[in-house]
Amino acid sequence: MKQLPVQFVVDRNGAATSVIVSVTDWKSLNEKYEKLQKKLKVLLGIQEGIMEVKSNRNSVKKLPTLIEFLDEAKA
Is the pLDDT at 1 greater than 70? The verdict is: no
Mean pLDDT, rounded, of the chain: 89
61 or 67, which is more confident: 67
Is the pLDDT at 72 greater than 80? The verdict is: yes
Q: Structure pTM?
A: 0.62
Q: Measured between alpha carbons, how far is residue 43 from residues 22, 47, 48, 50, 68 in Å?
A: 31, 6, 9, 11, 21
pLDDT of residue 22: 94
Within 8 A by CB and 6+ apart from 5, the residues are 21, 22, 25
Continuous segment of H or E residues that includes residue 9: strand 7-10
Share above pLDDT 90 across residues of the chain, in percent, rounded to a whole number: 57
pLDDT of residue 4: 77
Scanning the chain, the segments in alpha helix (DSSP H) are 23-56, 66-74
- The radius of gyration computed from the CA coordinates of the chain, to the nearest angstrom, equals 22
